[in-house]
Structure 1
C-alpha cells in the first residue's frame, strides 16, 4: 500500500450520517467498548479518549481510517473520517468523504441556502453547517487534498473548542 493511496468509491464501506445521532454504526454518546463492538474486529480505526474534556489528550489504538473522540462526560462526541481510506459517509444521498473539498463546500453552501441553515467557518477556514454538526475538513493525498469530514454530537456555533486539538493538526 502506497502512502498516498486513495481507496476507490466501490471499495469503501457505505455509511449514513444522521445528524447528532450516528455516523454509520457509531452512535454519539456510546462508550469506547460499545464503539469497538460496533466497528467489529479487524476494523481499521483509532479511538481517542480524553479524561474530562481536554481536547487532544488521550491514547490511540488501531489505524486511522476513522478517528473517534470520547470524553468521560459525553462518550463519543466527535468522529473524523479519513479522506483516503475511510468509509464513504453520505447525508441526503451526498457523499462527503474523499471528494474535492470545493465540491463539498459548494454542497454545504447550497444546503444552507435551501434549508435556511447556518454556515460558519472555523479559524482555519473550514466550513461548518451548524444544523448538521458537520465540519468540512481536508486531508492531503500526495499533490492534492481530499475531503475529511468531521461530525459532532451536538449543535455548536463555534466548532474550534469542540473539535479536539489533535484533529485540527490532521492533514
Structure 2
C-alpha cells in the first residue's frame, strides 16, 4: 500500500516539508529552543495544550501544537524549559525527510527496508528498542507508528545531541513515555500495543495524554 493511498493522511501542498538535521533540529526547530521560540517559528500553528509527558520525570513538559482547526501536528517536549524532543503527527504534521527520504506517514515495512539498507551500507547504525521500534541513536531518531483510518503509518520522533544516547531504548532513553504508548512496530499477523491488556504499569495516577 503506497503512502498516497492511506486514507485520512494529509498529502500534497497542504503538508509542510521539514528536513531533519540529525541531533541539531528539524525544520525551523532547533533543539535547545525555549517554548516561546518554538511557537514563534511554527507557521500556521497554535499551542493547543500542555501536559505531563512522562510519569517518572515530572520536569518533562509536553506542548501540543496544531493547525487552525485544532488538528494535532507537532508535539514538542521540554526539559528545564528547553526543547529536547520533537514528534510529528502522521496525519496533520509536517513531512519530515532524511537524505531525501520521507519519514512521515509512510508504510512501516517500506521505511524499515530503507533503514536496514542504509545500515547494511554503513550509513547508519540501526537498533531496536525493547518494544521493537527501530531507530538510530547516532541520528537521535526513532520511528513509531500511528493508527489511521485503514492501518498504521510512521511517526518520526527526534531528539537533540545531548539526549541521543540510547534514545531507541524505550526503557532507559530520554524520549517521554507518552511517545511509546499505543501500537507497537507492526510485524506480520501482529497488532500488539503497549501496555498490553491486563498489564500493571508503575504510572501511579499518570495517564497517557493521547
**Structure 1-normalised TM-score?**
0.84
Q: Distance in 2 between matches of 1:109 and 1:55?
A: 35
Post-superposition Cα deviations, 1:80-103, rounded to whole Å, max 9, x if no partner, equal 111111110111000100010111
Choose from 17, 21, 25 the match for 2:20.
17
Q: Distance in 2 between matches of 1:44 and 1:107?
A: 33
Q: Distance in 1 between matches of 2:108 and 2:141?
A: 13
Unaligned runs of 5+ in 1: none
Runs of 4+ in structure 1 over 6 Å off: none
Which residue does the alignment assign to 1:68?
76
**1:106 lines up with 2:119 in the alignment:** no
Deviates more, 1:92-101 or 1:103-112: 103-112
**Whose RCO is larger (CA < 8 A, sep 6+)?**
1
**1:7 lines up with 2:10 in the alignment:** yes
* Residues 18-57 of structure 1 mapped to structure 2, 5 A cutoff: 18-40=21-43, 42-43=44-45, 54=57, 57=60
Say how many residue pairs are matched.
165
**1:138 lines up with 2:145 in the alignment:** yes
Rg comparison, structure with higher value? 2
Unaligned runs of 5+ in 2: 1-6, 67-71, 184-210
